[in-house]
Amino acid sequence: MLELDAISAGYGKAQVLRDFSLSVGAGEIVCLLGRNGAGKTTCMKAIMGLLPLMSGRVLLDGQEVSALPAHHVPRAGIGYIPQGRRLFAGLSVAQNLEIGLQARGSGRDTLEEVLELFPRLRERINQRAETLSGGEQQMLSTARALCLRPKALLLDEPTEGLQPSMIEAIRQVIARMRTAGVAVLLVEQRVDAVLSLADRVAFLENGRGGAVMDAEDLRADHSIVDRYIGV
């Protein structure tokens, strides 16, 4: 279980996230919704330790990961799929996955499982990451995070700029992670892409946590979403 306990974070002196609390259970998909600049990506970076917390704690299965140096956070079991993929350019598909495997000492069997999920990557295993198509890059970014065998998975706009078939492929993988008992925290701008997938939806407004509700209710009454996102 991933727990955010009143975390505040920001860039330099500019505070973006204010006392934000949220918990994501194992085998649950929580979607974080909010307008541009609400602090969604900041929240992800803060969990990963890439931004220092101004206050609050991040807990993973009771372990205080926010007390660890940044490079120990993934080792504790948090996989990160950042916005814009952020692959290791110049490295091949295999090498990108190798970095993911190294983080928690995962073995060949993990690699096989991940390639099973993304057969396209196996075909391009020796190709340089930056030469892949947008969809394949997103697959690689996802596969790299899965190589950690994460207990919690953070996805920052995974469907951005993808064609529908790719979005569907990514959605299926996310759903499989839920079945495997991973705590999934998902950031999306496009509500419809995730509403059918999420178990709960948390709203973020100007860096503060808003309502947290069951996705079921939102699917029934779409007006709540419109109020928060203001489409």
Residues within the interface to other proteins (CB under 8 A): 48-50, 69-75, 80, 82, 86-91, 95, 98-100, 102-104, 144, 148
Q: Tell me the H-state helices in 22-163.
A: 40-48, 72-76, 93-103, 108-117, 119-123, 134-146
Min separation Cβ 19 and other proteins, Å: 24
Closer residue to other proteins in complex, CB, 82/158: 82
Q: Residue 113 CB, nearest distance to other proteins (Å)?
A: 18
Q: How far apart are CA 174 and CA 179, in angstroms?
A: 9
User: Are the beta carbons of 148 and 104 closer than 8 angstroms?
Assistant: yes
Instruction: Report in angstroms how near the CB of residue 176 gets to other proteins at its nearest.
Output: 21
| Residue type (1 letter), 131 | T
Distances from the Cα of 80 to the Cα of 49, 97, 126, 151, 222, angstroms: 11, 13, 23, 11, 29
Work out how close the CB of 155 gets to other proteins at its nearest, in angstroms, rounded to a whole number: 13
Nearest-angstrom CA–CA distance, 46 and 70:
10
Q: Which helix (H) or strand (E) holds 216?
A: helix 215-220
Q: Compare residues 146 and 201 and give the one whose CB is closer to other proteins.
A: 146
Residue closer to other proteins (CB basis): 91 or 212? 91
Comparison of 79 and 207: residue with beta carbon closer to other proteins = 79
Nearer to other proteins (CB atom), residue 48 or residue 193: 48
* Min separation Cβ 192 and other proteins, Å: 29
